[in-house]
Chain A
Amino acid sequence: MNLGRGAVAVWRRNADVFFKTWKTNFLPSIFEPLLYLVAMGLGFGGLVVGLTYAGQPIDYIRFLAPGLISISAMYGGFFECSYGSFVRMHYQKTFDAIVATPVSLEDVIVGEIMWGASKSLINSTIVLAVIALMGWLLFPAIQFTSLTLLLVPPITFLAGLLFSALAMIFTALVPNIDSFNYPFFLLITPMFLFGGTFFPISQLGAAEPFAYILPLTHTSLLIRDMSLGMSSPLDLLALVYVLVMTAATSYLAVRLMKKRLTR
């Protein structure tokens, strides 16, 4: 693979643009978890009785909070490498401009995916900070105290790589920007709802095994367990799944993008 330090320059370009307007970029990550915590955690969670996770009773809001971190890690990378990358590739011709320099197309794609993962890391770290603050101020039930919490940001970066590479596959395939409605409707929204975010997947009954096909099920499992300081043999499996899928989707994304852009 024709990969070099050009990928870092591509990453820097996107980071420069993002941090020029960081105040507006940070706002959704701050307010969305607040809204979800109040509406779902407090409002809806008040109705939930007798919830158990991994065999132990748990407050709904405590179950929900790590789910919100996982969701922001998914959306951060997927948005960036679908709409964001498509705009740069198709409308702004930024990729064309870059490949006229010693930077290769592979560098561009890898740099974009790394940046998408960085967006996941940034967004979900903000969500984590908001949750921590809310736990301290208003909802003692979600105070995370385990040291494994420190593993959450690196996991969100890893999850970000996976979702960014997945998005890049669609960016290589869609005929136009409106077509992103399909992966969002058919893949992202189902994950958002069924990927172990708002309720334990054990609730799915006979359909539970199907949830394990979804990448978010694995990343949310890891993020929840590390947030709560729990561990299960499934964590290791989830980690392997995420690593293998990241490698496979990245490889495919680079292949398909080369096919799309090399004329």
Chain B
Amino acid sequence: MPPVVVARDLVKKFEDLTAVDHISFDIEQGEIFGFLGPNGAGKSTVIRMIQCVSPVTSGRLEVLGMDVRERPREIKARLGVAPQDNNLDPDFNVIQNLTSYARYFGMPKDRAVRRANELLEFMQLEEKRTVMIEKLSGGMKRRLIVARALINDPDIIILDEPTTGLDPQARHLIWERVRQLKREGRTIILTTHYMDEAEQLCDRLVIMEQGKFLMEGTPRQMIADVVGDCVMEVIDADDEAERYLRTQGQQVERSADRLYVYSGECRTINQEFRRLYPEVYSVIRTATLEDVFLRLTGRRLRER
């Protein structure tokens, strides 16, 4: 099966800023593909180009085999977009938000109502059917935005920061639904600045910074390549303990009061450290994508 999104040498320039800087990638049918990175890295700009709402400056971008410049209407008919900002229609209630949105896809009324009811059930919003948008909690609004993105039964679902600002229960419900949508065979494109979210959901991902890819691959492979399998975390180390750890010749990162020691031998280092500095708290844990990110961007910050 050919990739559903193909980007080659893709560039997006604003007046004096290159938001997306010569990137190339393929997104395969049926996978969850993540764009990870800090705010302003260019994730949303890539998404907006895939969505055919932001004109491409240069390079090639094809979605479902169609050029975004030539066939935006056909592409948009097969995309479902859950944007980062809440742009639900405050003049309508919950179900009307779905049915009025269905009209933009040219869907007949009776089919729209049927589909809207299915989706309210899917996102656990049946009881809020006739509630106005302003009366919904943040989590409910997000769920409704995801429901709205599914109204046209899309082949590709774009989720831009789907869980920003949500409580843990609301996040987990969204994650569960995203996995379910993947099982239905849909392709999902996700942007997030939450590492745990990317690690939980993405089959493949890219880490973006300043419009470029710092790294790409599967979460597991990235962790193995950049960090190794374990991390030693030290809390409130005094200067002497920190100096000691740094002389161990390993990669050490500081983030506020914590030190992270990345090394294949972190278990041995920890044992030795415990013996020398029994009063400092340290622990060994499994490496996560957050460590990948910290190592990649931490080093960059120091180089500047």
**Are A101 and B101 closer than 8 Å at their CB atoms?**
yes
- CB–CB B105/A94 < 8 A: no
Residues of B within 8 A of A179 (CB): none
Q: Are B89 and A97 neighbours in the complex by a CB distance under 8 Å?
A: yes
Q: Is the interface of A mostly helix, strand, loop or mixed?
A: helix
Contact A102 B100 (CB under 8 A): no
Set of chain B residues within 8 Å of A103, measured between Cβ atoms: 104
Contact call B54/A17, Cβ cutoff below 8 A: no
Using A13-B100, A104-B72, A263-B54 as known contacts, say yes or no to A97 and B105 having CB atoms under 8 A apart. Answer: no
CB distance from A22 to the nearest CB of B (A): 14
Return chain A residues, CB-CB under 8 Å to B135. none
**Given A93-B87, A97-B89, A100-B51, also A9-B103 (CB < 8 A):** yes
Task: Bits for A1-15, please: 1 = Cβ < 8 Å to B, else 0.
Answer: 000111001101100
Report A-chain residues with C-beta under 8 Å of the C-beta of B77.
Answer: 101-102
In this complex, which of A13, A20, A262 has the most chain B Cβ atoms within 10 angstroms of its Cβ?
A13
Query: Which residue in chain A gives the minimum CB-CB distance to B73?
Result: A102
Closest to B77 in A: A102
Number of B residues, CB within 8 Å of A: 30
The yes or no answer to A16 lying at the interface (CB within 8 A) is yes
- Residues on the A chain within 8 Å of B72, using CB: 104
* Cβ-defined contact, B76 with A17, below 8 A: no
Cα A128 to Cα B72 with chains together (Å):
44
Q: Judging by beta carbons under 8 Å apart, are A94 and B53 in contact?
A: no
A244 beta carbon closer than 8 Å to chain B: no
- Kindly state the separation between the CA atoms of A102 and B71 in the bound complex, as whole angstroms: 10
Residues of B within 8 A of A13 (CB): 89, 100, 103
In the assembled complex, A202 has its CB within 8 A of some CB on chain B? no
Chain A residue at minimum C-beta to C-beta distance from B12: A263
A102 touches B104 (CB 8 A): yes
What is the CB-to-nearest-CB distance from A85 to chain B, in angstroms, rounded to a whole number? 13
Task: Tell me the nearest residue of chain B to A18, going by C-beta.
Answer: B91
Judge if A92 is at the interface, Cβ distance under 8 Å.
Answer: yes
CB pair B53–A99 under 8 Å, yes or no, is yes
Chain A, interface residues (CB within 8 Å), range: 20 to 34
A32 within 8 A of B: no
Question: Provided the pairs A6-B104, A102-B76 are in contact, do residues A97 and B92 lie with their beta carbons within 8 angstroms?
Answer: no
Q: B63 within 8 Å of A by Cβ?
A: no
Name A21-37 residues within 8 Å CB distance of B. none
CB of A145, distance to nearest CB on chain B (Å): 41
Instruction: Considering the complex, give the chain A residue whose CB is closest to the CB of B74.
Output: A102
Please give the distance in Å from B11's CB to the nearest CB on chain A.
Answer: 15
Q: Whose C-beta in chain A lies nearest to the C-beta of B88?
A: A97
Give chain B residues whose Cβ lies under 8 Å from the Cβ of A97. Answer: 83, 87-89, 101
Considering only CB atoms, which chain A residue lies closest to B89 in the complex? A94
Query: Are A5 and B104 in touch, CB under 8 angstroms?
Result: no
Task: Give the chain A neighbours of B152 by CB distance below 8 A.
Answer: 101
> Which residues of chain A are within 8 angstroms of B87 by Cβ–Cβ distance?
92-94, 96-97
| Complex alpha-carbon distance, A96 and B53, angstroms | 9
Q: Is A98 interfacial (CB-CB < 8 Å)?
A: yes
Residues of A within 8 A of B76 (CB): 100-102
Question: CA separation between A16 and B100, bound complex, in Å?
Answer: 9
> Is residue B205 contacting chain A, with contact meaning CB distance below 8 A?
no
Is A92 within 8 A of B83, CB to CB?
A: no
B81→A100 contact, CB < 8 A? yes
For chain B residues 82-115, which have a beta carbon within 8 Å of chain A?
A: 83, 85-92, 96, 100-101, 103-106
Tell me the chain B residues, 45-60 only, with Cβ under 8 Å from chain A.
48, 51, 53-55
Asked if residues A98 and B54 are in contact (CB atoms below 8 Å), the reply is no
Closest CB in chain A relative to B37 CB, distance in Å: 19
Do A9 and B104 touch (CB < 8 A)? Answer: yes
Tell me if A262 and B106 are in contact (CB < 8 A): no
Residues of B within 8 A of A16 (CB): 92, 96, 100
| A contact residues vs B (CB 8 Å cutoff) | 4-6, 9-10, 12-13, 16-17, 20, 92-94, 96-104, 262-263
A-B contact pairs, 24 of them (CB 8 A): A4-B73, A6-B104, A9-B104, A10-B104, A12-B100, A12-B103, A13-B103, A16-B92, A16-B100, A92-B89, A92-B90, A93-B87, A96-B53, A96-B83, A96-B85, A96-B87, A97-B88, A100-B76, A100-B79, A100-B81, A102-B76, A103-B104, A104-B73, A263-B54
